[in-house]
Structure 1
């Protein structure tokens, strides 16, 4: 049961955005810039970073909703996301994305967990400074989003199939109109 009076028909962050539209606008814009803005990382790769960080934070709503978007955007679909959830190194993604996922998971632990070794490994796989920057910011933002969603005990279906339509819509429309 949510800790504040939320629309029971809206899951996760959608309910929080409806509850406080004045905070929803900048948070939605941040998500759009990070996940849809110009980048050498694909939308699917950036969504995968969000899904993996959210899974590491045990945030059902964010991990499943961003998994759904990543699945729509990545060749290989949900199997790629599930593989990354299970074992980043065994996931069918590029070595660069694997290295960036390791950076993102370190951010999840704490900013100071991102050591020179992780950055050097990402650079060795071809990651640019902008890609490293954006990975750290995406991971940090998702930590905030995860704590926002779970800290207010929003509703989150546990069945991945419940998020498929959301994934299709978010891929097409982005986050400013949640």
Structure 2
């Protein structure tokens, strides 16, 4: 049960967003730009994976499963593949560039000052652009905020992970900006 009366029974971040639509709108617009916008050299799957990874590091069940399912949808994989990445991305068959960006994201999750020049230089040596490093840092920072919003209010989350997988296609098609919280 949420710590405050959200005046709705929506799971995860959807509950507080419906409770406070003005902030929900701004947060969804940020998510749209970071995760769904087409004008980005990181794929939607890579950006969703960064969010799922940071959410996993923050132990936010709702966000890691929503965005893990989104990454799974975009990568056309199964959830085990996404779980393997969250657990030990160094040992998974993803690009070295993406691995280096996940390292940066993991450092942001601990605190911004944990990101090092060496991490950024290494990512760039693997082909990461300044914009991709920027977006990785911003996605990781935003997900720390999203995770703390969800867990700080003690919102509930469906425990059946298949629920998230089944919603992924709809969210991929609809995006975040005009998200109908009841859908």
Q: What are structure 2's unaligned runs of at least 5 residues? A: none
Alpha carbons 1:70, 1:77 under 8 Å: kept: no
Aligned to 2:151: 150
Query: What is the deviation of 1:117?
Result: 1.3
1:76–1:92 Cα change, 3 Å? farther
| Distance in 2 (alpha carbons) for counterparts of 1:39 and 1:22 | 27
The alignment partner of 2:13 has SS state of: helix
The alignment partner of 1:87 has SS state of: helix
TM-score, structure 1 as length reference = 0.96
Deviation larger for 155-164 or 12-21: 155-164
Q: What are structure 1's unaligned runs of at least 5 residues? A: none
Question: What are the residue-to-residue correspondences of 1:1-12 with 2, within 5 Å?
Answer: 1-7=1-7, 9-12=9-12
Query: What is the deviation of 1:79?
Result: 2.9
Deviations 1:24-55 (A, max 9, x none): 11100000000012100000000000000000
Answering whether residue 51 of structure 2 is matched by residue 28 of structure 1, we say no
| Distance in 2 (alpha carbons) for counterparts of 1:87 and 1:155 | 27
Q: How many aligned residue pairs are there?
A: 178
Answering whether residue 131 of structure 2 is matched by residue 133 of structure 1, we say no
Deviations 1:52-105 (A, max 9, x none): 000000000000110111111013232331111110101221111110000000
Query: What is the deviation of 1:158?
Result: 2.6
Moved over 6 A (4+): none
TM-score, structure 2 as length reference = 0.93
Aligned to 1:91: 92
Alpha carbons 1:11, 1:156 under 8 Å: kept: yes
- The alignment yields a C-alpha RMSD, in angstroms, of 1.2
